[in-house]
Amino acid sequence: MNQKKYGLISLGCDKNRVDGERLLAIIREHGGFITDDIAEAEVLIVNTCAFLNASRKEAIDTILDCNRYRTEGNLQKLVVTGCLPEKYADEIFAELTEADVLLGTNDYDLFFDALALANAGQRVNFTKRNGEIAEKKRVLSTPLHYAYLKIADGCNNHCTYCLIPKIRGRYVSYPMEDLLSEASSLGELSELVIVAQDTTRYGEDLYGENKFCELLQNLTKSDNVHSVRLLYCYPDVIDDRLIAEIRDNPKIVKYIDIPLQHSEDRILKLMNRKGSRAEYLALIRKLKESIPGIAIRSTFIAGFPTETEAESEAMAEFLKEAKLTNCGFFAYSKEPDTAAYRLKGHLPERVKKARVKKLYGVQKEISKAFLNELVGKCVPVLCDGIDYDRNCFEGRTYFQAPDIDGKVYFTAPEAVQGKIYTIKINSSDGYDLYGSTEDTL
């Protein structure tokens, strides 16, 4: 059974991607063959997200669509892993008969045990077996020159709109020695992207004190890691020590992702978010003053229950004052089993979508002005590969994280994936940059 071809579709966040890459390593260690061609896979794994209703719908639709490969491809067994079965196995197991196996977020080590039972004719629900992802090796699903490093799982913040603590449990930091070993095993990396539900609280549960800066210092000592990018840094934990580490450590990209979620004090309190509008603006000013040119990314939720038109307008004004480099905006999603679900004053979908659209419009003008200032200038760009539709190379400069920010498209006599090039920016469309190069840094 292990000699079969295995395929993986990973949905949702980059943290989920890392779990999927560990499962691929387990499969390879057991002699399985991994294929990128889903139609060739004899065992297909759908690694799911369940954070929002839209995520759950995407997961179910993907599972149903994959079932067609039983007749159109080589599919023999369909395995569903990740957050959807972890939270909703009891609800979906009986009806989602397309799935031969359900595995939760910590049950990957049971993959072949479950598959053996499925191969014997059973449908298997192996969720909540109190297992773990013991395998520290990974098979990268990203381009080989960059990778994500998940430093913790779960969350203790208990934001009122969020299901993560109900799915992933309490915050659990991974041992530092394991993370350093994992990072060194990932090969030559132009960029290592640090992720967790909350990266900035690393170590508090495991060591009794915050060890995030120490982890960053040790990771950047690794010869195979050329730069480190920080995602999901919570504003209330960003202190002078972390700011100094970002500023002074030459291997840390001058970029920070801070999920603020809102700007107005009343809504922040309803969200159970720590901080205030004034504190957020002060933090942004401090970061910009301490680290000239730093790129700051954030995410915001529009249309939270009882949010007034005036509060939505105030969030737009916050964006104009903060002048963040990159932003994502999401309409509030009413999720059962969250505290916000029980609040009164839920807004119509059309209102929430309209507010998201307006916020994107405000940020678009901010981003457009920022990018237009780069036209005619040269910037260092990490080559991620080739865009065959545009017939050019594509890459990212320091203020662009993989998948969530814009890109730099450039022409060159030649370019190698994972190398840095000096790109002269010729134009911008307000989101992406376009340029050309002849010189390698």
Considering the domain 146-372 in this protein, what is its CATH number? 3.80.30.20
CA distance 387 to 340: 42
The domain defined by 5-126 folds into: Rossmann fold (3.40.50)
| Residue positions counted in the chain | 441
Break the chain into its structural domains and give their ranges.
5-126, 146-372, 378-440
Q: Is the pTM of this model over 0.75?
A: yes
pLDDT value of position 52: 87
- Give 410's strand partners: 393, 435
pLDDT value of position 440: 46
pLDDT value of position 133: 58
Q: Which amino acid is at 245?
A: E
CA distance 111 to 126: 9
SS (H, E, C) the chain: CCCCEEEEEECCCHHHHHHHHHHHHHHHHCCCEECCCHHHCCEEEEEECCCCHHHHHHHHHHHHHHCCHHHHCCCCEEEEEEHHHHHHHHHHCCCCCCCCEEECCCCHHHHHHHHHHHHCCCCEEECCCCCCCCCCCCCCCCCCCEEEEECEECCCCCCCCCCHHHHHCCCEECCHHHHHHHHHCCCCECEEEEECCCHHHCCHHHHCCCCHHHHHHHHCCCCCECCEEECCCCHHHCCHHHHHHHHHCCCEEEEEECCCECCCHHHHHHCCCCCCHHHHHHHHHHHHHHCCCCEEEEEEEECCCCCCHHHHHHHHHHHHHHCCCEEEEEECCCCCCCHHHHCCCCCCHHHHHHHHHHHHHHHHHHHHHHHHCCCCCEEEEEEEEEECCCCEEEEECCCCCCCCCCCEEEECCCCCCCCEEEEEEEEECCCCEEEEEEEEC
- List per-block mean pLDDT (blocks of 10 residues) for the chain, which spans 441 residues: 86 91 93 93 94 92 94 94 92 93 90 93 86 73 94 94 91 95 95 97 97 98 97 96 98 98 98 96 98 97 98 98 97 95 96 98 96 95 95 96 95 94 94 83 44
CATH class as words, domain 378-440? mainly beta
Q: What is the pLDDT of residues 177-217, one digit of tens each?
A: 999 999 999 999 999 999 999 999 999 999 999 999 999 99
CA distance 406 to 394: 10
Residue 260: CB atoms within 10 A of its CB come to 24
Q: What is the pLDDT of residues 363-386, one digit of tens each?
A: 999 999 999 999 999 999 999 999
